[in-house]
Chain A
Amino acid sequence: VIKAIVVDDEAPARREMRRLLAEHERVSVTGEARDLATSRGLLLRTRPDVVFLDIRLGRESGFDLLPDVDEETAVVFVTAYDDHAVRAFEASALDYLMKPVESTRLKATLKRVERFVAAREQGGAATRVGSPAPFTPSRWVFLEAGDRPAFVPVEAITHVSAEKGRSRVHVTGGHSLPSERSLEEWMRRLPIEDFRRVHRSTIVNLRQVERLEPWSHYTYRIHLRGTPEPVVMSRRHALRLREALG
């Protein structure tokens, strides 16, 4: 059973989403919220597999919930209008839906959620039973998802970012290649000595970090060698790294 929560500031919209989800026997709605504070409580209490998240919540923004959603929960944006803001945050979400939501479109989303849940559970089992050998810095990875497949040495990877359940591998020199692997799969394959998760949608090669810059709300911006745009380290991951490496 997929556990879902619905976040929307309009009651009719929440009822409509519940009605759409009720058509799927394997989905159970474990709660709903109209604001960020209630949503945070629900995330902690019910630990859902997926949150259907409206972006405009009165004067609050659904994006501000993202730091509170951990990796075990998939985010599906639900919005009335396709604005640029949604695209900017696309990487943090498994999918996004337009209101009014079409039931066939929702079916495809739920398939994605099921794959997400399956991958997560397999991942948990794999680490217990014995996962595929992690890469060592001398090893090469074969990236074949894009139109320009390539062999890339692990040590040349600066960071890996999430992209709709898949990922993008960024290498020294500033270019990047798509990959079919999820971030979870990369976390199991990359050597833990060098590669650490710094955000729900980013893994960073610590060897490639040039400089850390304190940013707002206890987050950091990480500047990587030869990469023009810094990546963000969330407060939660900064705390984890402090525990692991401090």
Chain B
Amino acid sequence: MQERIATREAQVRALAARLNPHFLFNSLNAIRALVAEDADRAREMLTRLSSFLRHAISIDPAVPSTLGQEMETARAYLRIEEARFEPDLEVDVDLDPDATDTLGPPLLLQPLVENAVRYGAPGSDGVLRIRLDARMERDGLRLELANTGTLAERPEGVGLGLSRSRLRLMYGDAQRITLAERDGRVIARIEIDAPRRVPEPGGSR
């Protein structure tokens, strides 16, 4: 019973968080600037925003989504932020093809990605760098989201609680979300020991 309430609450909060109006209207404003300056980039931005919105609006928080989809959504979001904050923000996203069809709670990465932009700080070259990287290792799925900056600049555990409880509901104790600082970077790390995958077409044989 208690678990069901927690699930419901996590779902409702995930839904509420998926669309931040400041993000939406600032993005539209940046696109309007680009229309006058660089039509190709404006078109690209519109595609990214559509891609992000399509996923954010259509998700069912109770239905797992693939890492491929999650990374695509995070990439679209980060590319938009990159355009808004150029030249002060640089983003790099890398996904191991073998991890594409693993499953997790939808928009699990979104609060972590938003925090990386919000609480990240410029490195020595004046640029805030964000790197999102996911790969399959022997021990399971390893996902890292790193941003230049320090933990001291981030309020304790902001945004982690919801992601943690959502991942726990799906994978129990066979998962971890940690936040650490190393060499001037803050690294959020998600580990899933034996991630579920999308069933093969044709089902079980």
Contacts and interface: CB of A to CB of B under 8 A. Distances in A.
A and B are interacting partners: yes
Interface of A: 9-13, 15-16, 19, 56, 58-59, 80-81, 98-101
Q: Dominant SS at the B interface?
A: helix
18 contacts: A9-B85, A10-B26, A10-B29, A10-B84, A12-B37, A12-B84, A12-B86, A13-B30, A16-B29, A59-B118, A80-B29, A81-B25, A98-B25, A99-B26, A100-B25, A100-B28, A100-B29, A101-B29
B138 interface: no
A100 B84 CA distance: 13
A12 B28 CA distance: 11
Contacts of A59: 118-119, 153
Interface in B78-129: 83-88, 118-119
List the 7 closest pairs (A to B, CB-CB), nearest first: A80-B25, A12-B33, A16-B33, A99-B29, A12-B30, A81-B21, A100-B29
B34 interface: yes
Given A15-B37, A19-B36, A56 B22 contact: yes
Interface of B: 21-22, 24-26, 28-30, 32-34, 36-37, 83-88, 118-119, 153
A89 to B, nearest CB: 17
Given A13-B29, A16-B32, 17 more contacts: A10-B26, A10-B30, A11-B85, A11-B88, A12-B29, A12-B34, A12-B84, A15-B33, A16-B36, A56-B22, A58-B118, A59-B118, A80-B29, A81-B22, A100-B25, A100-B32, A101-B29
Given A11-B87, A12-B33, A80 B119 contact: no
Contacts of B36: 16, 19
B84 to A, nearest CB: 5
Contacts of A58: 118
B24 to A, nearest CB: 8
B83 A12 contact: yes
Contacts of A98: 25
Nearest to A10: B84
B89 to A, nearest CB: 10
A80 B22 CA distance: 6
B180 to A, nearest CB: 21
A101 B33 CA distance: 11
A59 B28 CA distance: 21
A225 B22 CA distance: 41
A80 B24 CA distance: 8
